[in-house]
Structure 1
Amino acid sequence: MPKYVYDFTEGNKDLKGLLGGKGANLAEMTNLGLPVPPGFTITTEACRHYLSHGDMPDGLGEEVAAHLAALESGMGKRLGDPDDPLLVSVRSGAKFSMPGMMETVLNIGINDRSVLGLAKQSGNERFAWDSYRRLIQMFGKTVLGVDGELFERAIDELKGEREDTDLDTPDLQRLVETYKGIVRERTGREFPADPREQMDLAIRAVFGSWNAPRAVLYRRQERIPADLGTAVNVVAMVFGNLGADSGTGVAFTRDPGTGQRGVYGDYLQNAQGEDVVAGIRNTVPLQELEAVDPVSYRRLLEIMATLEGHYRDLCDIEFTVERGKLWMLQTRVGKRTAAAAFRIAVQLVDEGLIDMDEAVTRVTGDQLAQLMFPRFATPEGDGRLTTGMNASPGAAVGKAVFTSARAVELAGRGEDVILVRRETNPDDLSGMIAAKGVLTSRGGKTSHAAVVARGMGKTCVCGAEELDVDVDARRFTTRDGTVVEEGDVISIDGGNGAVYLGEVPVVASPVVEYFEGGHPDDELVAAVHRVMTHADSVRVLGVRANADTPEDAARARRFGAQGVGLCRTEHMFLGDRRKLVEDLILATTPQERQAALDALEPLQTADFTGLFAAMDGLPVTIRLIDPPLHEFLPDITDLSVRLALAADQAPEKDRRLLEAVRRLHEQNPMLGLRGVRLGLAVPGLFAMQVRAIAAAARRSANPKAEIMIPLVSAVQELELVRDEAAKILAETGVDALIGTMIEVPRAALTAGQIAEAAEFFSFGTNDLTQMTWGFSRDDVESAFFGRYLDLGIFGVSPFESIDPDGVGRLMRIAAEEGRRTRPGLKLGICGEHGGDPESVRFCHEIGLDYVSCSPFRVPVARLEAGRAALASTGSDTR
């Protein structure tokens, strides 16, 4: 039979998966000889059994009874004894820290008889009755499901203008009776007087709190697996509410906000732990404990030094002082800001506690990304209008504009603007580039606005549903009736989704200035520099950038990119060039088609020349045009209406255009005439692009061109385009690799065949995810994604992080079979996942040569590639 209960003397900090973080660390402190109240831990295995079967596993009750008896023997007290009661706390504790997300119940073991014994033994009648009312209040809310506001209202009515500490014993006795009446009225039963029943019900409640909505939401946010479960810790109570010589507090061995060494924390006299967390009373700085109780203060500092040296990291400590005796209730590796994470990592290296390998594992790409975005100088500002989704981090201030044309116009005059739309589409690209930030009333974190904004490093708030955006009137209206007209200044915070009226001061990120070529003279920047330098020295994965313009490519190179992994040539055909594409589509004779291609070719040559110059000597992977065709054609309904209104006066070109739109109209453009299919259907299109690439290469000093053919499903498609491209390259004397994008499931499954005609693969995981799952990135969020996340079908959106079991398996198959055919096959990824930390680690695992991501994500990918390399050699990447 499995062992479900462990005494604190039996565990250690390496058993977090079994004992949870709290239980493992209580055991570790016990083993270090620190003053920890005795107790035992019920394992996460018991929790998982309870959650899946609805009842406790066989034998658990007997194990708990045995450990409780040992605890009682060691303490010389019995649970709920009427003369000298043992009281215990029942506390949650999962493998990964989830502060405040699950339940805790204190003071278990008090009833109408034992409260009298507690009063007698403590010599403090008020303390005993205060502990009793706390138990009923916490137990009633946590275990019995009584609305906590009812208890709060009762105590507020009793104390009036007084503080909690001003309530005397008769007050608290009346409050206990009131609380018991609330329980009776709301549950139809008396408050349980049996101490063992109290404990058993509390244990079940803590197990059940693993699936409480706030815990589920927190796990989703932190990407904590949903199947881990929580442990339960049963601990002998020590009391900080016994008078002025008692208290409770929280301490950090370093400042979790900045990383600086020192004494940081809060202390509250004559209080229990929940008083600090709930903010019922104002705490004092931890340093003031020295004046109140210098002996406990000095001992606390000694223990803090011991724990930091033992854990080799910032420690977060909860403690209680009971009549001058210091007790340690919890320690864990403390949460910290991104800035503190980098500072602490290099501090610990300098102090000899860790090496640079471990320093790299102590920080994350997500933390680096937080440091790179501009931010508001103050976290809150007057005039908050609404809150949407924090789609792309940063802080942006500018005049509200409602069309891309207006954004370009005002930005051209040197004015800062925020592009406000219901949602964006590819035609808004110019406006998004011109704007300081993007605000939409629709869409989510994987909508067009969000994906493109992140790629460009633009601040973006999406899905601000309370805003009624009227593009025609050039205004939006908030739920309370506030109207913001075009030209009014607004501020948007991509970190928390807040939207403000007026200007909130913005400060630039010194980390970005460093990546742009600045000197690492700031302490934080110096720490980032040291970590990044070491990550680059250990990583195996190359890091390239998705860049469509010379400016993007140059920035990517400054940020450390080792080439361009994806140049999306369709982006070069938007804006003013759309007319040339329309001419190409409308062409009815070879001569008309060639004239359109001839007009496009010099423009493409100039585009590629600029990219080769920016990446001088580094590879540039150019994807031949891959647009859903509808993006280059007018909306069929709008065009039909326009022609109907014009009647006989409609221009002939518009009539021809409508005919072409009807001919090419697709029910599902994402699965239609695009990629290699478009290149084969429109003779000369791909050839024109290859000629432009060759001409640009001949003009450049040290070009390294790679031509990528998109949306291939069959090797025959690739062979046809490859042969045409190879002929042009041979005629012009230009060397370039020819490969393909693996973005269709069939291509992944037939990669062995396709590798016969391809010199490299680049995984287009955006489309591969859509086609593997069978839903569109642009449509699913508002339809059912939220529900799927709530139900646990998705732990995280498959558009945010690679789905390793489905999409990832296709990638693994393609990589293995492609290299079996062509051992030297170069493998990369150029979808949005290329900048996602989890996805970067997966790409390292399956042996890709490089990842490619937006320029602003290049440093993140570099860091995560280093962390992935260290993880594969056994380093801890917590």
Structure 2
Amino acid sequence: MAKWVFAFGGGSAEGGAGDRNLLGGKGANLAEMCSLGLPVPPGFTITTELCTHYYANDRTYPEELEAEVDRALAKVGEVTGRRFGDPDNLLLVSVRSGARASMPGMMDTVLNLGLNDETVEALARDSGDRRFAYDSYRRFIQMYCDVVMGLDHENFEEILEDGKAGLGYEFDTDLSAEDWSRIVDLYKAKVLEELDTPFPQDPREQLWGAIGAVFSSWMNHRAITYRRLHNIPESWGTAVNVQAMVFGNMGDDSATGVAFTRNPSTGEKKLYGEFLVNAQGEDVVAGIRTPQSLTEEARVAAGSDKPSLQKVLPDAFADFVRIADTLEGHYRDMQDLEFTIERGKLWMLQTRAGKRTAKAALKIAVEMAEEGLITREEAVARIDPASLDQLLHPTIDPEASRDVIGIGLPASPGAATGEIVFSSDEAEELKAHGRKVILVRVETSPEDIHGMHAAEGILTTRGGMTSHAAVVARGMGKPCVSGTGSLRVDYKKQTMQALGRTFNKGDVITIDGANGQVLAGAVAMLQPELSGDFASIMEWADAIRQMKVRTNAETPADARMARSFGAEGIGLCRTEHMFFDDDRIVAVREMILADTEEGRRAALAKLLPMQRSDFVELFEIMAGMPVTIRLLDPPLHEFLPKGEEEIAEVAAAMGVPADTLRQRTESLHELNPMLGHRGCRLAISYPEIAEMQARAIFEAAVEAGQRTGRPAEPEIMVPLVGVIEEFEFVKARIDQVAKAVMEESGVEIAYLCGTMIELPRAALRAGDIAASAAFFSFGTNDLTQTAFGISRDDAALFLEAYRQKGIIEQDPFVTLDIDGVGELVRIGVERGRQARPDIKLGICGEHGGDPASIGFCAELGLDYVSCSPFRVPIARLAAAQAAVAKG
């Protein structure tokens, strides 16, 4: 038979810190503190498994639960010398949630449970303070009704404020015991009026109501939202902790507070926190009174004239300092502590690993490793890789006020302020005049690349986390907020509508790519600081990890940025991204729209020196590191002229009538261009394109090697291969050009020719393809699209609804779908290696910068991951953590 209830208290406990999956974080740590002999009010934990049972059985409990709870309550009574519900020997309890992952403030709590019209008099006798007793009772009624009975606390706040105003009082502390008693009567009358039922007087009914409410709060809106934001599975459930009450509001020798063993903002090794004299825990959290500093040093630094805990209750403070040191040493991590002092005696109510900023996390991990408290491997494992984004981009000052006018998806981290512009040309023009702009579009396309580069940040009303705007912005290291559906952009009027307000071109806005907020006006920023602690963690991570980390980059600026962040080569150079500059796109259009080979070769001759120059610079920046260059892979529609003006411009450049060019453009139109004439299909139709690019690559490799004295390592990637014959056709042209360039230059070039595995058939037939391909790079963006049959540009329209309804846990374009797409990758790896044991394997989709996906890549033993420049540090750290996890 399952055990549903675990007791703790009196120096012993059933369970401990290792049981957090069963007891939740709070319950496990309460049990652990008891076992350490620390002063913890006795209680018991109802397990997370009961929560699972509760929802699986129509919100009902197993028959044996009631008897287990009764036994545990009796044990609490033995430890305290009191009995629950006994007016002559009163025991009151608190009921709190406690999931295995910390979810502060997301679920419900009830304090002072067990009070009623009879026991309130017992509390008055025991405490010797009727005012305290009736204040506690009114707090209980208000909290219980809000949490359990569904009567909003604002109903009671109105009664309290009206009561104080009628009596001429300003503060709660002005009220007498008789005043509180009258307010309690008004509260109970309100319950009867609103709910048509009296406030429950039976302590057992109160207890089971509170237990049910805590389990129910696992599925409240804020808890669901928090779980979604922090990737906490619904299946984990929450535990319920029932604990004897201790009171911090029994006079000036009582207090309650919250503290961290180190500063959670900076990581400084100093006690950090605050407390209130004569208060309950919710008073500190609610901020209804100005809190006081724990230490004299902190009080002086804050310029406060209110005495510190160190001064007010020195004995309790000394006990607390000793316990804080004990707990940090025991858990070997910064602790977040909650405590109550009742009539001079200290009680510990909670300890858990404290949440901290990325800057503090680095400092704490490095210092603890240097103190010998943890190993370097543990220090590396302690840092959330995704949190490093906080350090790599400007962020909004947490003290700044925010005028939020819209919320979208946090598509690329960082924050930026600028004037609104609605076109890429405007963005580039204003940038040239030294002005900062935010490019606002319904959605972006590859032709917006120059405007995105010129803008401080990008805001779109459509698209998801893997839309064009999101992917390109992350690659550039620019903040982006996408899918802000509440905004309305009118290109013709040059306006943006937001919450009934109209913003015109030139108005200043701020976007926060960390949380998806759009703000009116300029907002104060904090600039990134890569501290010595950051460098230490990266150095330790590099010593641990086994996978290499490359970058996705086409521009020298991106390549240099990636190298400064520790990239070990380029894993994906998307050559089509190099062709959108004004001096190139006309030639590209000439090539695409030419209807003869001679016409295409004439256009390609214009592009060859441009491509060669690009590759020379990339090879030089990478200084002998591998550079994977993908041959041209554009859906043709992205390059075709749009509108009469562009058609006329290209027609003039080509020397053909505009009508002829218009007809040619229409003939190239595709219904589904993402699955159309692109990738290797383009190179097979027009081999001269692949030949030009191969020549540019090999000539650049020769030139760069001669300049730097370090031979370039080109890896030429053939895209969108589905059958081996496609790859071999294109590879033959590449090899032919390589031979010609080597003969012309007299220089031997070491190169690899491989493919991107981005179609399910390619993964399934990887053994065939590996017979000719020297490397595979898994293009998981397109592999996810083709495996799911979902366009990533349109997925945001419904994937979020899927997540909210529990159909999927993660957006598969953000975190790799291990069961489906991951299985295709696994098959490709296994079959590729079977055919060619020395095949080089990597991943270059957006998943290459996602920590969870990187763990899967490490499991498969890939040689490298490749990601956008600003995600390189994240990938380095995640790869090290994957190595630690593998042991």
TM-score range, shorter chain: over 0.9
**Structure 1 partner of 2:604:** 597
1:767-778 equivalences in 2 (<5 Å): 767-778=782-793
1:83 and 1:118 in contact (8 A); partners too: no
- How much does 1:669 deviate? 1.5
The reply to whether residue 446 of structure 1 matches residue 477 of structure 2 is no
User: Which residue of the partner structure matches residue 237 of structure 1?
Assistant: 245
CA drift of 1:45 comes to: 0.7
User: What is the one-letter code of the residue matched to 2:727?
Assistant: L
**Could you tell me how far apart the structure 2 residues matched to 1:546 and 1:120 are?**
72
Aligned position for 1:665: 669
Query: Structure 1's 110 and 384: CA in aligned 2 closer, same or farther, altered over 3 A?
Result: closer
Amino acid of the residue matched to residue 776 of structure 2?
F
Secondary structure of 2:261's counterpart equals: strand
CA displacement at 1:502 relative to structure 2: 4.5
Correspondences of 1:517-596 after superposition (within 5 Å): 525-576=531-582, 577-596=584-603
More off after superposition, 564-573 vs 143-152: 143-152
Give me the whole-angstrom Cα distance separating, in 1, the residues matched to 2:526 and 2:25. Answer: 37
User: What SS does the aligned partner of 1:234 have?
Assistant: strand
The residue that corresponds to 2:305 in the other structure is: none
Q: 1 CA distance for matches of 2:581 and 2:437?
A: 19
Match among 242, 267, 285 for residue 277 of structure 1: 285
> Greater CA deviation, 115-124 or 398-407?
398-407
Which of 75, 90, 94 is the equivalent residue of 2:95?
Answer: 90
Secondary structure, counterpart of 1:804 in structure 2: coil
User: Aligned with 2:232: secondary structure?
Assistant: coil
Structure 2 CA distance for aligned equivalents of residues 433 and 106 of structure 1: 55
Match of 1:175 in 2: 183
- State the secondary structure of the residue aligned to 1:868: helix
Cα offset, 1:32, TM superposition: 0.6
Is 2:41 the partner of 1:37? yes
Maintained 8 Å contact 2:390/2:528? no
Shift of 1:670: 1.4
Q: Which residue of 1 aligns with 2:303?
A: none
Which moves more between the two structures, 844-853 or 158-167?
158-167
Q: Shift in Å at residue 67 of structure 1?
A: 1.2
8 Å Cα contact 2:785/2:792 also seen in 1: yes
Q: Which residue of 2 aligns with 1:847?
A: 861
Which of 506, 510, 520 is equivalent to 1:491?
510
SS at match of 1:211: coil
Give CA deviations for 1:690-714 in whole Å, capped at 9, x if unaligned: 1221222222211101010111111
- SS where residue 213 of structure 2 aligns? helix
**Partners in 1 of 2:647 and 2:692 — Cα distance?**
33
- What is the CA-CA distance between 1:548 and the residue it aligns to? 0.5
SS at match of 2:831: helix
Matched, 1:413 2:433: yes
* Greater alpha carbon shift after TM alignment, 359-368 vs 24-33: 359-368
Residue 845 of structure 1: how far off its partner (Å): 1.3
> Cα distance, 1:826 vs. partner?
0.7
CA offset digits 1:541-599 (Å, max 9, x no partner): 10001010223222222221111000001112223222222222322223222222222
State whether structure 2 residue 33 is matched by structure 1 residue 14: no
2:720 aligns with one of 706, 711, 720: 711
Aligned length: 850
Residue 111 of structure 1 contacts residue 132 of structure 1 at CA under 8 Å; is this kept in 2?
A: yes
Residues 170 and 653 of structure 1: CA distance in aligned 2, closer, same or farther (over 3 Å): farther
Alignment partner of 1:870 is 2:876: no
Report the Cα distance in structure 2 between the residues aligned to 1:421 and 1:587, rounded to whole angstroms.
32
Q: Any idea what SS the aligned residue of 1:823 has? A: coil
Alignment partner of 2:111 out of 87, 101, 106: 106
Q: Structure 1 residue 760: deviation in Å?
A: 0.6
- What is the deviation of 1:639? 5.7
Q: 1:450 to 1:246 in 2, by over 3 A?
A: same
Is 1:747–2:762 an aligned residue pair?
yes
- Which residue, out of 776, 779, 799, partners 1:764? 779
User: 1:315: Cα distance to partner?
Assistant: 0.7
Query: 2:125 matched to which residue of 1?
Result: 120
SS at match of 2:489: strand
Instruction: Identify which of 738, 741, 744 aligns with 1:729.
Output: 738
Q: Report how far residue 464 of structure 1 moved.
A: 4.0
Task: Decide whether the 8 Å contact of 2:589 with 2:641 is kept in 1.
Answer: no
Q: Is the 8 A contact 1:80 1:111 kept in 2?
A: no
Deviation per residue, 1:341-378 (Å, 9 max, x gap) = 01111111222211211111111212221111113456
The secondary structure found in structure 2 opposite 1:445 is: coil
Task: Say whether 1:350 aligns with 2:366.
Answer: no
Distance (Å, rounded) in 2 between the aligned partners of 1:120 and 1:387: 54
SS state at 2:687 partner: coil
Deviation (angstroms), 1:626: 0.9
1:508 equivalent among 505, 513, 527: 527
Q: Deviations over 1:776-795 (max 9, x none)?
A: 111121x2122112112232
Moved more, 234-243 or 468-477: 468-477
**Structure 2 residue corresponding to 1:793, chosen from 807, 816, 822:** 807
Contact 2:419 2:505 in 1 (8 A): no
The structure-2 alpha-carbon separation of the partners of 1:3 and 1:384, relative to structure 1 and needing over 3 Å to count, comes to closer
Alignment of 1:170-249 (within 5 A): 170-249=178-257
Whole-Å separation in 2 of the counterparts to 1:681 and 1:697: 27
Measured after TM superposition, the shift of residue 642 of structure 1 is: 9.0
**Once the 2 structures are TM-superposed, how far is the Cα of residue 662 of structure 1 from its aligned partner?**
2.7
Q: SS in structure 2 opposite 1:793?
A: coil
Structure 1 equivalent of residue 795 of structure 2: 780
CA shift at 1:442, angstroms? 3.5
Taking structure 2 as the reference length, the TM-score comes to 0.92
**Contact (CA 8 Å) 1:247, 1:320: kept in 2 or not?**
yes
The equivalent residue for 1:130 is 135
Amino acid in the other structure paired with 2:52: R
* Alpha-carbon distance in 2 for matches of 1:334, 1:590: 66
Whether the 8 Å CA contact 1:381–1:500 is kept in 2: the answer is: no
SS of the aligned residue for 2:862 comes to coil
Q: Name the structure 1 match of 2:388.
A: 368
Aligned AA for 1:119?
A
Mind listing any 5+ residue stretches in structure 1 that lack a counterpart?
512-524, 644-650, 874-878
Q: List gaps (5 residues or longer) in structure 2.
A: 296-307, 649-654, 706-710, 743-748
Distance in 2, Cα, partners of 1:579 & 1:447 = 26
The residue that corresponds to 1:517 in the other structure is none
Cα distance in 1 for partners of 2:688, 2:815 equals: 37
Q: Secondary structure at the match of 2:235?
A: coil
Tell me the percent identity: 54
Alpha-carbon distance in 2 for matches of 1:148, 1:382: 27
Determine if contact 2:687/2:730 at 8 Å carries over to the other structure: no
Cα distance, 1:385 vs. partner? 5.0
Classify the secondary structure of the residue corresponding to 1:227. helix
Q: CA deviation at 1:181?
A: 2.5
The amino acid across from 1:593 in the alignment is: R
Equivalent pair of 1:585/1:660 in contact (CA under 8 Å): no
Distance in 2, matches of 1:192 and 1:390, equals 46
Tell me, in whole angstroms, the C-alpha distance in 2 between the residues paired with 1:377 and 1:50.
43
Q: Tell me, in whole angstroms, the C-alpha distance in 1 between the residues paired with 2:733 and 2:465.
A: 40
> After superposition, what is the alpha-carbon deviation per residue over 1:393-440, rounded to whole angstroms, capped at 9, x for unaligned?
223233332221122222233333222223221111111111222223
Secondary structure of 1:510's match? Answer: coil
CA contact (8 A) 2:767 2:834 kept: yes
CA-to-partner distance for each residue in 1:847-872, whole Å, 9 max, x for gaps? 11100011111111111111111121
2:627 maps to amino acid: V
- Paired with 1:542 and 1:79, the residues of 2 have a C-alpha distance of 61
Structure 2: distance between partners of 1:255 and 1:196: 42
| Cα 1:639–1:669 shift into 2, 3 Å | farther
Of 23-32 and 280-289, more deviation after overlay is shown by 280-289
Corresponding residue number in structure 2 for 1:834: 848
Kept after mapping to 2: 8 A contact 1:586/1:656: no
